[in-house]
Structure 1
Amino acid sequence: MVRPAPELAPEPAAALEAFLRYLAVERGRSPNTVRAYRNDLTALLARLPGVELAALDLSMLRGWLAGAHAAGVERATLVRRAAAARTFTAWAHRTGLLATDPGIRLESPRPTRKLPAVVTARQASDLLDAACSGAAENDPVALRDLLLLELLYATGVRVAEVCGLDVADVDGERRTLRVCGKGDRERTVVYGVPAERALTRWWQLGRPALVRAGSPPALLLGARGGRLDPRVARSVVHRAVSAVPGAPDIGPHGLRHAAATHLLDGGADLRYVQELLGHATLSTTQLYTHVTADRLKVVHDRAHPRA
């Protein structure tokens, strides 16, 4: 059961709406990020003892996080909530809504950086072979699902990125995609021959069957002709993976991790993987190196004179 959002007093409610506009317009944050900040900050501001935003202080911020921790909220969620609070109080101080910035002294637990389960290269191959067989009758939805799976695994793009692709973002001659990622950062990713074959079938037999007069220029379309919804894409991946014996239950992000892991296992340069995935820092990409420890051990045993 979903709890209704708490009612906020007029002053904090107005401040929250102004802050969310700032996030969306000036900072260019995604709708998902804005939605998460809204939920977190609504819960925070509902704890105000009065109707004025000035009552927001450090003890209240700490009590809010402590209560969430006692309720069993996961560490990653606590980190996100602390970040939302700090961003809001810094903005409120700059705009004169708060005399001081209480969030500047707010500490949060260090995030745990662990990777989800990853399908093996054999399981990924079985998954895509099954999707290809399912599209043998040229059903347009099956052709779309095949292309979705091929692109997610071939390029390591995020599910929102692949659903956000337009027809004009595809360069078939160079086998590249122009992707708009987090923070509106644009990058170019490449795809291989199997994805090219799936794309060709989609162009010829899939998309023309689903496109409608009012359809957007999206590369991937839903069954009714609109842009493919990321939630539908997630269900496609979960359904496809569940049909592979022994494969862990993963979604689109799991295929992204699999793409990175298998690239590194195959000897790809870490900088290349960083560029492909659209990571702002190399330290994020380095998380994948622990998955390939077995390969590193093999290389060490073969190459090091004291192995």
Structure 2
Amino acid sequence: MAASLDRACRDYLAYLAIERGSSRNTIQSYGRDLDRYLAFLAKRGVVAPDDVTREDAEAHVRELHEMGLASSSVQRAASAMKGFHRFMVAEQICENHPTADLALPRKPERLPDVISREDAARLLDEPFRVDPRPKARQTGEPDRSNVAAFRRDKAILELLYGCGLRVSELCGLDLRDVLLDEELLRVMGKGSKERVVPVLGTAARALVSYLEEWRPLLAVHGRPGPAVFLSQRGSRITRQAVHALVERYGRMVGIEGLHPHTLRHSYATHLLEGGMDLRMVQELLGHASVSTTQLYTHVDRTHVRMAYLQAHPRAGLREG
């Protein structure tokens, strides 16, 4: 009996997870995209892999545009469709390849949001000048867990900006990944690709303070396991909690709608402005392609002009 599209889709997602080592987020996103695609095909009476036509695939892409999805979302969905059909042909599930030369929607170049060096300094310093007052337990003794969470937040912000971590990477950090003697963090990035990034300066000091003094106060409230960053219940902190705290501290210093990825973008931009080699920034960010990192070179060209003026012997000459 020929395989159904549903069964083939499950096999494809398993292939991405096991053989390709794709991240959980990628698999979940592709799963949602393909569920929507198969539902669209089912409405057209298409349930077998060899029955899908080029017209079906193009009609689905048009429908995604008409639904108002962002271009990036349509592009990801089209990539999922192409990968799915390519997999079915490679696995001899079918001979039909309706998306072989399906053009991917062009993804508009969007410059990443960044904050200035001055705003980064205010974010990391101003809210943390004075610790909050400890709460009082029923016994009258001070409960310093709120202070511990406050100092945890400081360490989180410092690492997001000081190490350029993605939220998922920060939340996934385990104690064994913190190599303090070497001033390094071992980070598990997209596609389960491991990289090592330096943790120095204020980021290192905030992390050491948190681990030695404040994490133990949070750990007593639950089963912390190996997680570096804990919630006030003593469990591994969630991405949603990190998003919320970044936005909250941003508001404190007048930066509305601050997103954790903005701190990663700012990290990359400020490194390039400081003169770091593009390939080195690529390695620190964990980008598979340098073309992704190059986007940061378009964010602010002011530093390029200033460097040119300082370096070139005739840049500052005026006609006499």
TM superposition score normalised by structure 1? 0.91
Gaps of 5+ in 2: 134-143, 316-320
SS for the counterpart of 2:181 is coil
For 1:173 and 1:131, how far apart are their aligned partners in 2?
29
For 1:63 and 1:42, how far apart are their aligned partners in 2?
16
Matched, 1:290 2:298: yes
For 1:283 and 1:235, how far apart are their aligned partners in 2?
31
- Check the 8 A contact 2:111/2:298 in 1, yes or no: no
SS for the counterpart of 2:276 is coil
Residues 36-185 of structure 1: pairs in structure 2 closer than 5 A: 36-48=29-41, 49-133=45-129, 135=131, 139-185=147-193
Of 1, 8, 11, the match for 2:4? 11
For 1:276, the equivalent position in structure 2 comes to 284
For 2:257 and 2:314, how far apart are their aligned partners in 1?
41
- Cα separation, partners in 2 of 1:116 and 1:242, compared to 1, 3 Å: farther
Counterpart of 2:228 in structure 1: which amino acid?
L
- Cα separation, partners in 2 of 1:147 and 1:275, compared to 1, 3 Å: same
Once the two structures are TM-superposed, the CA of residue 136 in structure 1 deviates from its matched residue by 5.8
SS for the counterpart of 2:106 is coil
Of 22, 35, 56, the match for 2:28? 35
For 2:318, the equivalent position in structure 1 comes to none
- Cα separation, partners in 2 of 1:12 and 1:134, compared to 1, 3 Å: farther
For 1:7, the equivalent position in structure 2 comes to none
For 2:245, the equivalent position in structure 1 comes to 236
Deviations 1:126-178 (A, max 9, x none): 11113423646561111111111000100101111111111011111221101
- Cα separation, partners in 2 of 1:135 and 1:153, compared to 1, 3 Å: farther
- Cα separation, partners in 2 of 1:101 and 1:134, compared to 1, 3 Å: farther
SS for the counterpart of 1:188 is strand
Query: Which 10-residue stretch deviates more, 84-93 or 233-242?
Result: 233-242
For 1:104 and 1:43, how far apart are their aligned partners in 2?
20
Once the two structures are TM-superposed, the CA of residue 31 in structure 1 deviates from its matched residue by 1.3
Gaps of 5+ in 1: 1-9
For 2:279 and 2:104, how far apart are their aligned partners in 1?
30
Counterpart of 1:130 in structure 2: which amino acid?
E
For 1:227, the equivalent position in structure 2 comes to 236
SS for the counterpart of 1:240 is helix
- Cα separation, partners in 2 of 1:51 and 1:275, compared to 1, 3 Å: closer
Larger radius of gyration between Structure 1 and Structure 2: 2
Once the two structures are TM-superposed, the CA of residue 52 in structure 1 deviates from its matched residue by 2.3
For 1:253, the equivalent position in structure 2 comes to 261
For 1:131 and 1:92, how far apart are their aligned partners in 2?
54
Question: Sequence identity, in percent?
Answer: 38
For 1:3, the equivalent position in structure 2 comes to none
Deviations 1:233-265 (A, max 9, x none): 1111111112222x3523111000001111112
For 1:262, the equivalent position in structure 2 comes to 270
Once the two structures are TM-superposed, the CA of residue 303 in structure 1 deviates from its matched residue by 2.4
Query: Which 10-residue stretch deviates more, 80-89 or 282-291?
Result: 282-291
SS for the counterpart of 1:237 is helix
> RMSD of the TM alignment (CA)?
1.8
Deviations 1:52-77 (A, max 9, x none): 23222211110000111123221111
For 1:199 and 1:108, how far apart are their aligned partners in 2?
43
Once the two structures are TM-superposed, the CA of residue 119 in structure 1 deviates from its matched residue by 0.9
For 2:205, the equivalent position in structure 1 comes to 197
For 1:86 and 1:297, how far apart are their aligned partners in 2?
43
For 2:226, the equivalent position in structure 1 comes to 217
SS for the counterpart of 1:104 is coil
Counterpart of 1:270 in structure 2: which amino acid?
L
